[in-house]
Structure 1
Amino acid sequence: MPDAMLSQNLKTLSRIHGGKYIHQAGFLPGQTRDYWLIAQSLNPSPVGAITRSTQIHESWAHQRELKAGQLDTFSRYSLIYVTKGRGIFRDDRHREALPVAAGDVICVFPGIPHAYGPPESERWDEINVEFSGIIFDAWIGAGLLDPAIPVRHLPQPVDYWLKRFHDVVLPLAAHSSGADYTLRDAGRLTDLLAEICNTWQEPHAKSDLRWIDEARTRLLALAPDAPLDLAAEGRAFNLGEQAYRKKFKRLCGVTPNAFRSRHLIEQACHQLIASDVSVKALAFAYGFSTPFSFSRHFKQFTGLSPERYRENALR
């Protein structure tokens, strides 16, 4: 017997939880699918946000693109969990088709052209979550979200993972379409990502895991206005500056400078929301020589000036 959650009608689920259900026509005669827009945000936080989620039964996904040999480029991250059916995935790094089956999750990355879907005469069922923001950029590398391995299998039953996806997105379904979602909503997604990644994380040697844990802890413990001395950090591990930088990037996925910069901007984002501290004071507190250099650095990470970020967050 099929699991109860897998057999639930999307129209019924939309009536219970919210969102918008459509029995949608396709490009071919007689082609239809059940489409449930669970959640959508038109003004996502640059720090981190769920931007859209849908669940689709009898989906054709990118069949037309696959048939034409075309790839689409996406500006955000996306997780596509296939609950029924089979198909393939292609991207710029994988021109040969990668097989996809029920129980697999596809990871789509910003700026990487891709296409996926079932065979031309078939359909599959899926649930997907789109997301963006600097808190998710930190998941790239270190055996976590990895563009080199865009298709992974989740070992637990499909019904278990469908419920976990629902745990993340169903609280958003009751919001009006276009609503702004909170960092707490993004936090539920990071919890899901952590659980997913824990099932596939590539095994590093225990010494490597201890090393990167200590290296990151040291950087996080630095005072916000303290300069990052890579030579000193390397000496703490009996490594030269270059060897330290390379090892950190190999195990963490980003350079020490990028890791610390991202952490400082995340802290600044919280300060802008939680306090009335001025941008000028915040700039000096975080070690920048001028408010202008802080604002320029902040905008590189978030896409917004500190003033605009605070204004949007407190609206």
Structure 2
Amino acid sequence: MSSSAVRISSQDEVGTRLGRVRTTGFVENGPAFVPRPRRVLESYALVLVHAGVGAYVDDEIGSRPIEPGDVITVSPGCPHWYGPPPGGTWSEIFLVFDGPLFDALAVDGVLDARDPIRRVAPLKVWRDRVAEFADRVRPGDTTARRRELLELAALLVDVRGERHDVEPVTRGIRHAKNRLAGDLRADLDLRAVAASAGLPYETFRKQFRAAVGTSPAAFRLDRRIEAARALLRMTDMTHAAIAASLGFADEYHFAKRFRERAGVSPRDYRRARSKI
């Protein structure tokens, strides 16, 4: 068996107002390592597995098998673990990044903590693309850094477009997702959403969960919480104003739902992010 190696290709703590590519690197024949408690990142991460098999585990989706060609995207504050089984190894390329640009992608559903795995193909093309980005020297001037961040955003959007491992989303479910993710302040009637998708409510609810991995109500709540994360991090809006802008009944209701999903209060989340 080949020896294992971890190589950090680049690190950048400067960045721009759009964000930064904090760390990139490569793992070759990495062994299993199970952190206790589960690892929680302060930034987003993309991991392309190109050799070996294993699993991804978090509290939202449980355990999912990972094979070569799977891309894992990890969101800040999400307790998780991924890696090969005991005694096994795998190889990966990883990118760690953060900033308002990627918070916006999270709000738009490109970086979705409840849907962290995509299968990409052909593997060699994707491996070469991600490896080239990871292994380059990070640019030194602001304009070049901005271009690189937009290139990374495009890569993430392209990964999101790949979906070889799940049931295709029907036109009606796609329409429903767009309605549920839009105008987060509105009080939507889920039965009306089902009707607009051309489906009886129970059929809609079952098909939505099968295609998206969560219920329509939970999907909409998660979009609100993702938007709240971005507003807490990127603005000085009061908690009451954020609650009103996202359709929560009041500040107390917002704080309760935010803690249920994020694991911390809005106040603690904002305080922690202000120190990064």
**Per the shorter chain, which TM-score range?**
0.5 to 0.7
Q: Is the Cα–Cα contact under 8 Å of residues 176 and 194 in structure 2 kept in the other structure?
A: no
Displacement of 1:313 in angstroms is: 3.9
Distance 2:263 2:183 in 1: 25
241, 253, 270: which one aligns with 2:201: 241
Distance 1:298 1:137 in 2: 16
Say yes or no: does 1:72 pair with 2:34.
yes
Q: Is the Cα–Cα contact under 8 Å of residues 172 and 198 in structure 2 kept in the other structure?
A: no
Say yes or no: does 1:55 pair with 2:55.
no
107, 112, 115: which one aligns with 1:137: 112
Distance 2:53 2:232 in 1: 41
Please show how residues 267-278 of structure 1 align to structure 2 within 5 Å. 267-278=227-238
**CA separation of 1:49/1:212 partners in 2, compared to 1, >3 Å: closer, same or farther?**
farther
Give CA-to-partner distance per residue, 1:266-313, whole Å, 9 cap, x none. 333333345433212332343333322211212233333222333344
Distance 2:49 2:263 in 1: 29
Alignment match, 1:307: 267
Please show how residues 256-295 of structure 1 align to structure 2 within 5 Å. 256-295=216-255
Q: Is the Cα–Cα contact under 8 Å of residues 54 and 84 in structure 2 kept in the other structure?
A: yes
Distance 1:255 1:112 in 2: 24
Letter in 2 for 1:36: I
Instruction: Name the TM-score, length of structure 1 as normaliser.
Output: 0.56
Give CA-to-partner distance per residue, 1:64-107, whole Å, 9 cap, x none. x5xxxxx636536651444xxxx53234765xxx875xxx4564
Q: Which runs of 5+ in 2 are unaligned?
A: 14-18, 56-62, 142-146
191, 196, 213: which one aligns with 2:159: 196
Q: Which runs of 5+ in 1 are unaligned?
A: 1-30, 42-47, 66-70, 175-183
212, 220, 224: which one aligns with 2:181: 220
150, 154, 160: which one aligns with 2:123: 154
Secondary structure of 2:30's counterpart equals: coil
Alignment match, 2:53: 89
Q: Is the Cα–Cα contact under 8 Å of residues 249 and 256 in structure 1 kept in the other structure?
A: yes
Instruction: Name the TM-score, length of structure 2 as normaliser.
Output: 0.62
* RMSD between superposed Cα atoms in Å: 4.6
Give CA-to-partner distance per residue, 1:185-239, whole Å, 9 cap, x none. 987655323323445545866xx44323311222233451x32321121122332
Distance 1:33 1:220 in 2: 42
**CA separation of 1:313/1:280 partners in 2, compared to 1, >3 Å: closer, same or farther?**
same
Distance 1:223 1:90 in 2: 37
Secondary structure of 1:137's counterpart equals: coil
Distance 1:294 1:241 in 2: 27
**CA separation of 1:294/1:236 partners in 2, compared to 1, >3 Å: closer, same or farther?**
same
Q: Is the Cα–Cα contact under 8 Å of residues 12 and 20 in structure 2 kept in the other structure?
A: no
Instruction: Please say which structure displays the higher CA radius of gyration.
Output: 1
Distance 1:187 1:302 in 2: 27
Displacement of 1:241 in angstroms is: 2.1
Letter in 1 for 2:115: I
Distance 1:36 1:214 in 2: 42
Alignment match, 2:16: none
212, 229, 233: which one aligns with 1:252: 212
**CA separation of 1:164/1:297 partners in 2, compared to 1, >3 Å: closer, same or farther?**
same
Secondary structure of 1:195's counterpart equals: helix
Distance 2:234 2:97 in 1: 23
Distance 1:154 1:290 in 2: 48
Alignment match, 2:58: none
Secondary structure of 2:236's counterpart equals: coil
How many percent identity over aligned positions? 22
